[in-house]
Chains A and B, each alone.
Chain A
Amino acid sequence: DMKVTQMPRYLIKRMGENVLLECGQDMSHETMYWYRQDPGLGLQLIYISYDVDSNSEGDIPKGYRVSRKKREHFSLILDSAKTNQTSVYFCASSYRANTEVFFGKGTRLTVV
């Protein structure tokens, strides 16, 4: 069963705390992504990873960093979370260029 798994599904953090969002995929996809979704803004690309330790900034990387040490695992880190980082975060993966992107179910992060 092709799957992208995100943990946790819901998270509440205080402003200034560090946040770790984790993502795994079981399809051996080389490319993985982190998006955030906000009302009225659609899905915005934060980071893209082409393989282990091969990461590139997306459209809104400020305030985020990523880590990919294994092909099947991609983490999003928020150092000192801010209230404007309250959002739903989606991890995704794809086999290669211009093929279907598979999304996880998302993590709803609230920063208070």
Chain B
Amino acid sequence: QQKVQQSPESLSVPEGGMASLNCTSSDRNFQYFWWYRQHSGEGPKALMSIFSDGDKKEGRFTAHLNKASLHVSLHIRDSQPSDSALYFCAASNSAGNKLTFGIGTRVLVRP
């Protein structure tokens, strides 16, 4: 079983719309979460981290973490065609050197 599960597998949103991605961990040792984005032909690049309960906003991106349920979400406001990519949720424990990735959510922003 994947320790980091993402949903949905894919998502299509209109330009200017809101995209919502979900991630759940099955390992209570995972307390540190990241969102990474990967454009076609490139390596993943970190979007943002979230280590505390609640919301964290960076520009058009907002992450929300609920440590009790080990659930983290990412919301992309005012989606742009350049946001079309594969989005990974990743988690680590307090030692923090080993990131475990989910399978990813493919986001397509329709012009």
Contacts and interface: CB of A to CB of B under 8 A. Distances in A.
A19 B4 CA distance: 31
A101 interface: yes
Contacts, number: 55
Interface stretch (A37-45, A62-70, A71-79): A37-45
A48 B98 contact: yes
Contact of A100 (B41, B46, B95, B97): B46
Contact of A101 (B42, B46, B102, B104): B46
A98 interface: yes
B43 interface: yes
Contacts of B102: 42
Interface in B89-111: 90, 92, 95-104
A90 B45 CA distance: 12
A106 B43 contact: yes
B49 interface: yes
Interface in A91-112: 92, 94, 96-106
Interface residues of B, number: 24
Contacts of B95: 97
A90 B43 contact: yes
Interface in B30-54: 32, 34, 41-46, 49, 51
Contacts of A48: 97-98
A87 B95 CA distance: 28
A106 B45 CA distance: 12
A79 B37 CA distance: 32
B101 A58 contact: no
Contacts of B90: 43
B43 A103 contact: yes
12 contacts: A40-B103, A42-B101, A42-B102, A43-B88, A44-B101, A45-B99, A48-B97, A59-B100, A97-B96, A98-B51, A100-B34, A101-B34
**Closest 9 pairs (CB-CB, A-B):** A97-B96, A103-B43, A98-B96, A43-B101, A42-B103, A100-B46, A42-B101, A103-B44, A98-B32
